[in-house]
């Protein structure tokens, strides 16, 4: 069973629909017991970092998420929350990844970054069967910096972490559930980890 963490951020339904198309069994939950006992955990979301962290705190999920040992995938704001810190309202995040989340702020760069962009430097089994240069869908104004945990890179004004991984934790800044066959393959790969 897959636990999709519910903490009042957008995007839960489209992630659930993507899992349903793959025939995966899932539950949308904020129950610590259900999250801990799941085979895999998804932390999706669309929203603002400090509000999202406040919702996780209110539901008693900060330490629950940090303690997980099964595969965990953060999506969009979910991956940002797994990082150390976000510039968005100077937010301390979960600290799983040692990345800083920074706002796109180059002159002339349209923000939010919205639409299709390519992936390079693909690493880990999360990207099995996905080619260098594959296109994925983004809607974001902030993104994790590059570091040793970076497993895919996208350039938008400058390179940023399109995906990161450390131990059993993975995250994508792009939306796999909106990224057509590439996103579907990535979710299939995650379900096999």
- Spell out the domains of the chain, with CATH numbers in brackets: 2-192 (3.40.50.880)
Q: For 109-131, what is each residue's pLDDT tens digit?
A: 999 999 999 999 999 999 999 99
**Predicted confidence band at 10 (pLDDT cuts at 50, 70, 90)?**
confident
Q: What percent of the chain has pLDDT over 70?
A: 100
Give the pTM. Answer: 0.97
Q: Are 84 and 97 in contact (CB under 8 A)?
A: yes
The pLDDT of residue 22: 96
Cα separation values, 83 from 3, 10, 116, 128, Å? 20, 19, 23, 24
The pLDDT of residue 96: 98
Range list of H helices, 24-155: 32-37, 49-58, 62-66, 77-82
Q: Which residues are catalytic?
A: 76, 175, 177
What phi and psi values does residue 79 have, to the nearest 5 degrees? -70, -35
């Amino acid at each position: 069973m897959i636990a999709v963490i519910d903490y009042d951020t957008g995007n839960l339904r489209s992630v659930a629909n993507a899992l349903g198309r793959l025939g995966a069994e899932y539950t949308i939950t904020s129950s610590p017991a259900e999250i801990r006992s799941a085979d895999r955990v998804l932390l999706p979301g669309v929203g603002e970092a400090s509000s999202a962290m406040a919702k996780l705190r209110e539901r008693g999920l900060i330490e629950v998420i940090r303690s997980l040992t099964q595969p965990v995938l953060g999506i969009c704001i979910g991956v940002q929350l797994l990082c150390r810190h976000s510039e968005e309202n100077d937010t301390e995040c979960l600290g799983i990844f040692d990345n800083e989340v920074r706002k796109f702020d180059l002159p002339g760069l349209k923000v939010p970054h919205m639409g299709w962009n390519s992936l390079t430097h693909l690493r880990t089994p999360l990207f099995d069967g996905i080619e260098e240069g594959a296109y994925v869908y983004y809607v974001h104004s902030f993104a994790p910096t590059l570091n040793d945990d970076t497993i895919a890179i996208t350039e938008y004004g400058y390179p940023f972490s399109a995906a990161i991984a450390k131990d059993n934790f993975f995250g994508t800044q792009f939306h796999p559930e909106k990224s057509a066959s590439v996103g579907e393959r990535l979710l299939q790969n995650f379900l096999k980890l």
